[in-house]
């Protein structure tokens, strides 16, 4: 991944991510988030994570965000008419943000002397590689995920049916 591609993706990503939290209307926020996720998927492609990129779109952009949009529509959440948060909180957020970015800048300076990337295995990022590892090394988490999803269905149905 070269610098041109990186910045061509990173700058829109950051701008759109800011729009997610800055836009007053939840519908637009959700759509900006979809866009962020889509760009991230493209980003994953450049990081040789093809399967994850597809997943990002299918699961995140295609399913989770549809659910968000559904709830926004069902609850009629229009514009954010709530009062702005207390000043202290706002200030804390901004200060915290600045510190974090500054820290990252520091990190960037330090890391200029990092070691080179490891060589990529033959089938890195392919479905086969992912699948064979997922269903051997990570079999237990995989089964637990199933149970987690079951719990989610039960929980959501119980809650929404009330």
Partner 1 sequence: MIDFLITFSLTLLMVLMVLNLGGLLLWVERKGSAVLQDRIGANRAAVFGKLPFNLGIVNTLVADPIKLFTKEDFVPQGADKLLHTLAPAIGLVPLLVTFIVIPFGDVLIIGGREITLQAANLNIGILYVLAMVSLSVYGVVLGGWASNNRWALLGGIRGSAQMISYEIPLGLALIGVVLAFGSLDLQEITRAQGALIGGWIPAWGIVYQPVAFLIFLAAGIAESKRIPFDLPEAESELISGYFTEYSGSKQAMFMLGDFVEAIIVAGLITTLFFGGWQVPFLLRDGFHFPWGGTLALPSLLVTLLQVGAFTLKVLFFCWLQIMIRWTLPRFRYDQLISLGWKILLPLALANVMLTALIILLFE
Partner 2 sequence: MDQYVPVLIALILGGVVALVMTFASTLLGVKTHSAVKDEPFECGNPPSGSAWGRFSVKFYLAAILFIVFDVEVVFLYPWAVVFRQLGLFGFMAMLLFVLVLVVGLVYEVKKGGLEST
Partner 3 sequence: MVPISYHLILSGILFTIGVTGVLLRRNIIIIFMAIELMLNAVNLSFVALARHFGNMDGQIIVFFVMSVAAAEVAVGLAIILLVFRGRETVNADELNLMRW
Sign of the CA dihedral 55, 56, 62, 67?
A: positive
Please, are residues 16 and 36 in contact by the beta-carbon 8 Å criterion? yes
The angle formed by the CA atoms of residues 139, 143 and 144, to the nearest 5 degrees, is 115
Interacting residue with partner 3 among 12, 38, 51, 57 (CB under 8 A): 51
How far is 33 from 17, CA to CA, in rounded Å? Answer: 7
User: Closer CB to partner 1, residue 58 or residue 152?
Assistant: 58
What does DSSP assign to residue 46? H
Interacting residue with partner 1 among 47, 48, 62, 137 (CB under 8 A): 62
By the rule CB under 8 A, 20 interacts with partner 3: yes
Q: Which residues contact 12 (CB under 8 A, 6 or more apart)?
A: 39
Cα-flanking dihedrals φ and ψ of residue 78, to 5°? -90, -120
Q: Which residues contact 15 (CB under 8 A, 6 or more apart)?
A: none
| Site for partner 2, residues 110 to 129, rule: CB under 8 A | 127-128
Interacting residue with partner 1 among 6, 7, 46, 70 (CB under 8 A): 70
User: Closer CB to partner 1, residue 97 or residue 131?
Assistant: 131
By the rule CB under 8 A, 134 interacts with partner 2: yes
Per-residue mark of binding to partner 3, 23-42 (x: CB under 8 A): ---x--xx--x--xx--x--
Interacting residue with partner 3 among 90, 139, 140, 143 (CB under 8 A): 90
Residue 61: closest CA among 78, 28, 36? 36
Name residue, tokens 């990529």. 120
Choices 15-23, 87-95, 104-112, 132-140 (CB under 8 A): range interacting with partner 2 = 132-140
| Site for partner 2, residues 140 to 159, rule: CB under 8 A | 142-143, 145-147, 149-150, 152-154, 156-158
Catalog residues that contact partner 2 under the rule CB under 8 A. 45-46, 51, 54-55, 58-59, 62-64, 66-67, 70-71, 73-76, 78, 127-128, 130-132, 134-136, 139, 142-143, 145-147, 149-150, 152-154, 156-158, 160-161
């Amino acid at each position: 991944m070269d610098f041109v591609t990186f910045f061509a993706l990173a700058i829109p990503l950051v701008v759109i991510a800011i729009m997610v939290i800055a836009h007053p209307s939840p519908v637009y926020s959700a759509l900006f988030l979809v866009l962020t996720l889509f760009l991230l998927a493209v980003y994953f492609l450049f990081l040789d994570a093809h399967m994850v990129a597809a997943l990002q779109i299918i699961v995140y952009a295609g399913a989770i965000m549809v659910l968000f949009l559904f709830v926004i529509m069902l609850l009629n959440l229009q514009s954010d008419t709530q009062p702005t948060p207390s000043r202290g909180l706002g200030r804390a957020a901004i200060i915290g943000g600045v510190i974090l970015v500054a820290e990252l800048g520091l990190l960037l300076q330090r890391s200029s002397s990092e070691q080179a990337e490891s060589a990529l295995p033959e089938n890195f990022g392919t479905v086969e590689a992912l699948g064979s590892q997922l269903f051997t090394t990570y079999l237990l988490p995989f089964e637990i995920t199933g149970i987690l999803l079951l719990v989610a269905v039960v929980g959501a149905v119980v809650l929404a049916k009330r």
